[in-house]
């Protein structure tokens, strides 16, 4: 049994086999760049099972590739069955049907195809013939791509420098080594390049927002007193004459890049915890999995989005965590730094307060 949190992160595994404390064992899974468990180890670091997969997820057996040739995958090396159902890219495999549970539908690794088609209007594009097969898995590119959930992120009007700022911060927060916007301004995560460090929840959130067509996030650069750092709109749904939805729900994420240069008399830890990549994550998280608001919140609760998604990412990264949601006027001791007024947010790291401050006349709108 696998248990996931609200962000889709695997947080626990339970066996359905009852065992006493002396027989019960812990299994640690080591995944490859696609998220497929490849090596299982026990509490002492000993290998208990190993798995290799063909490109589309069919598990490579233990028989010799050529009859009579040496067998490289042996039980001595750990190639044996186990009770873990997580297989290719982390999908749960049903041993009876040999189908993998891929959230929205089932996938058969032996065929390299889904058992149910994608939506024709949402998921086909004239310019991309590979999208015309509605049963195909990741456009027949399984070594480079995965299909964990499925949304999309596009850069609508960002400059090269603005794209660079976002990508550099997302690399730092997720650990992904290669993230870029393609020639169509679509965000691409190169899974084959792997990742190093970063937050697992951040990787899941960014991947979930980059690979499908149910929802599309257009990132728009603005310079506006109506926007404080960033905001997301309610979304736009396109319908045909019969009222049927056509295409994805399109959300616009406005980003005021200049606002992130307006911090004054602030703690370095607070600035890092309120980076541009994390703020955009906050806006995307409002709409990604379900409609998630910032209320209710209080002086000790930063609200559902921060509590469920962003603070857990900060925790995994060892960053200061946000204490409350709404910005407050700067304290009297700092008013000389802000003659035209200032706002502040409180973060906390290892029990110590970390303050983020900015000029009210430079940053407009409601702080997100």
Nearest to 364 by CA among 350, 343, 346, 349: 343
Distances in Å between the Cα of 365 and the Cα atoms of 13, 224, 226, 360 are 44, 8, 4, 9
Q: Is the distance from CB of 277 to CB of 172 less than 8 angstroms?
A: yes
Q: Is the distance from CB of 90 to CB of 35 less than 8 angstroms?
A: yes
Cut 0.85: pTM above it: no
73: left (phi over 0), alpha (psi -120 to 50) or beta: beta
Instruction: Tell whether 323 is covered by a domain.
Output: yes
* HSE-up (13 A, CA, CB side) for residue 100: 24
Domains in the chain: how many in total? 1
* pLDDT tens by residue, 256-305: 999 999 999 999 999 999 999 999 999 999 999 889 999 999 999 999 99
Instruction: Tell whether 246 is covered by a domain.
Output: yes
Instruction: Tell whether 80 is covered by a domain.
Output: no
Instruction: Tell whether 143 is covered by a domain.
Output: no
- The dihedral sign for the CA sequence 189, 194, 196, 197: positive
- The dihedral sign for the CA sequence 327, 332, 334, 339: positive
SS3 state at 242: coil
Instruction: Tell whether 239 is covered by a domain.
Output: yes
Question: Could you give the CA distance from residue 213 to residue 364 in angstroms, rounded to a whole number?
Answer: 33
* Residues in the chain, pLDDT under 50: 5-7, 9, 11, 120-122, 124, 126-127, 149-151, 367-368
- Both tokens of 81, joined, read 């069955």
* pLDDT tens by residue, 156-202: 789 999 999 999 999 999 999 999 998 888 899 998 899 999 999 99
Instruction: Tell whether 59 is covered by a domain.
Output: no
- Both tokens of 31, joined, read 């995944």
Instruction: Tell whether 50 is covered by a domain.
Output: no
Structural domain boundaries, residue 262: 152-359
Instruction: Tell whether 82 is covered by a domain.
Output: no
């Amino acid at each position: 049994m696998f248990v996931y949190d609200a962000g889709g992160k695997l947080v626990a595994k339970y066996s359905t086999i009852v065992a006493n404390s002396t027989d019960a064992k812990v299994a640690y899974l080591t995944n490859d760049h696609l998220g497929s468990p490849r090596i299982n180890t026990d509490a002492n670091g000993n290998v208990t099972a190993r798995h290799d997969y063909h490109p589309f997820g069919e598990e490579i057996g233990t028989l010799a590739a050529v009859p009579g040739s040496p067998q490289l995958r042996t039980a001595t090396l750990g190639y044996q069955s186990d009770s873990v159902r997580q297989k290719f890219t982390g999908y749960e495999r049903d041993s009876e049907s040999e189908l993998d549970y891929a959230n929205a539908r089932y996938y058969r690794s032996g065929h390299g195809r889904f058992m149910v088609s994608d939506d024709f209007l949402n998921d086909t594009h004239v310019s991309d013939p590979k999208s015309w097969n509605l049963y195909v898995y990741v456009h027949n590119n399984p070594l480079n791509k995965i299909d964990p959930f499925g949304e999309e992120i596009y850069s609508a009007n960002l400059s090269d420098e603005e794209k660079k700022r976002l990508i550099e911060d997302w690399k730092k927060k997720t650990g992904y080594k290669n993230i870029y916007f393609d020639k169509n301004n679509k965000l691409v995560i190169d899974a084959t390049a792997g990742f190093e460090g970063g937050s697992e929840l951040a990787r899941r959130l960014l991947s979930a927002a980059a690979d499908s067509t149910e929802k599309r996030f257009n990132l728009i650069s603005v310079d506006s007193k109506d926007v404080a750092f960033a905001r997301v709109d309610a979304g736009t749904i396109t319908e045909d004459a019969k009222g049927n939805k056509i295409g994805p729900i399109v959300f616009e994420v406005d980003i005021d890049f200049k606002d992130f240069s307006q911090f004054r008399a602030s703690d370095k830890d607070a600035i890092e915890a309120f980076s541009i990549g994390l703020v955009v994550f906050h806006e995307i998280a409002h709409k990604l999995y379900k409609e998630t608001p910032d209320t209710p919140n209080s002086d000790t609760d930063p609200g559902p989005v921060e509590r469920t998604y962003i603070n857990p990412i900060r925790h995994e990264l060892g960053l200061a965590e946000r204490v409350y949601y709404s910005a407050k006027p700067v304290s009297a001791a700092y008013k000389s730094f802000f003659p035209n007024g200032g706002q502040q947010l409180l973060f906390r790291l290892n029990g110590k307060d970390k303050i983020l401050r900015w000029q009210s006349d430079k940053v407009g709108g409601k702080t997100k």
